Amino acid sequence: MGRNLIMLGMAILVMTLITFIIAGFMSGISNPLAWLSLVSLIIVIVGHNKLVKRRYLIWKDSYSVGIESIDNDHKKLIHLINNLQTAIDFKTDVNFEKQTLDEVINYTQYHFTREEGLMEDNGYPEFEPHKATHKKMIDQVNELVQAYEKGEDGAIESLLTFLKTWLIKHINGTDQEYSEYLISKGVK
C-alpha cells in the first residue's frame, strides 16, 4: 500500500509539472514558471531513476571466493533476486512474481547443495556449522513464504529484503571463510 501511494504521488507530480510546462511555454518561451517546471521535472526523473537503481544488487569483484563455479552461482543468485525486484517494482502479474520468487528459492537450494558437496568432499573442517547456516536461512525463507502465501501485507517486500541482505552478508562473510581451504585442495 505504501509503495502504491508513492507511485500515485509521483504520477500526480509529473502530470502537474508537464501541465505547467505546456501551459507556460504556450504563454511565451521566456515564462519562468515553464522553465522552473522543466528543471523540476528533470530533477524528479533523474532522482527517481537513481533511487530505483540503488535497490538492485550489483556484483563486485570483492565478492569473489576465487572459485569460478561458486562465483557463477552467486552471480546468478544476484541476477534472480534482481528479477524479483523488477517483478515487485513494476507490479507484474502475480504469477510472474511467484515464478521469480520460486526461481530464487530453488536456485538457492541448488547452490547450497553444490557448496556443501564441495566442502564435504574436501573435508572442510567448518562444514557442519556452514551447512547449519544454510539450513537456518531456508527455514527463515520458508516462514516468510508462508506469510506471503497467506497474503500478509508487505510480505513479498520483507522476503526480498531478507534475501538481499542475507545473500550479500553470507557471500562476504561465511563463504569467504572456505575460499582459501578449498582453493588449497585444488577446487576451481
In the bound state, the residue with its beta carbon closest to Fe ion is: 175
Name the grid cell of 180: 582459501
Distance from C-alpha of 4 to C-alpha of 180, rounded to nearest angstrom: 47
| Helix-helix angle 155-172:174-184, to 10 degrees | 40
Interface region with Fe ion, contact rule CB under 5 A, candidates 26-34, 47-55, 93-101, 109-117: 109-117
Interface region with Fe ion, contact rule CB under 5 A, candidates 22-30, 35-43, 46-54, 167-175: 167-175
Closer residue to Fe ion, CB minimum distance, 123 or 151: 123
Distance from C-alpha of 185 to C-alpha of 147, rounded to nearest angstrom: 42
**Nearest distance, CB of residue 77 and Fe ion, angstroms:** 8
**Quick count: other Cβ atoms within 10 Å of Cβ 182?**
20
Distance from C-alpha of 146 to C-alpha of 4, rounded to nearest angstrom: 23
Interface region with Fe ion, contact rule CB under 5 A, candidates 52-60, 113-121, 137-145, 160-168: 113-121
Binding to Fe ion by residue 97, rule CB under 5 A?
no
Q: Do residues 17 and 41 make contact, with C-beta atoms less than 8 angstroms apart?
A: yes
Closer residue to Fe ion, CB minimum distance, 97 or 115: 115
Closer residue to Fe ion, CB minimum distance, 97 or 175: 175
Mask of contacts with Fe ion, 27-66, x by CB under 5 A?
Answer: ----------------------------------------
Per-residue CA distances from 94 to 14, 99, 119, 134 (Å)? 27, 9, 37, 28
Binding to Fe ion by residue 175, rule CB under 5 A?
yes
The residue count for binding Fe ion (CB under 5 A) is 2
Distance from C-alpha of 62 to C-alpha of 71, rounded to nearest angstrom: 11
**Nearest distance, CB of residue 163 and Fe ion, angstroms:** 13
Interface region with Fe ion, contact rule CB under 5 A, candidates 21-29, 36-44, 83-91, 110-118: 110-118
Name the grid cell of 32: 519562468
Which spans of this chain sit near Fe ion (rule: CB under 5 A)?
A: 115, 175
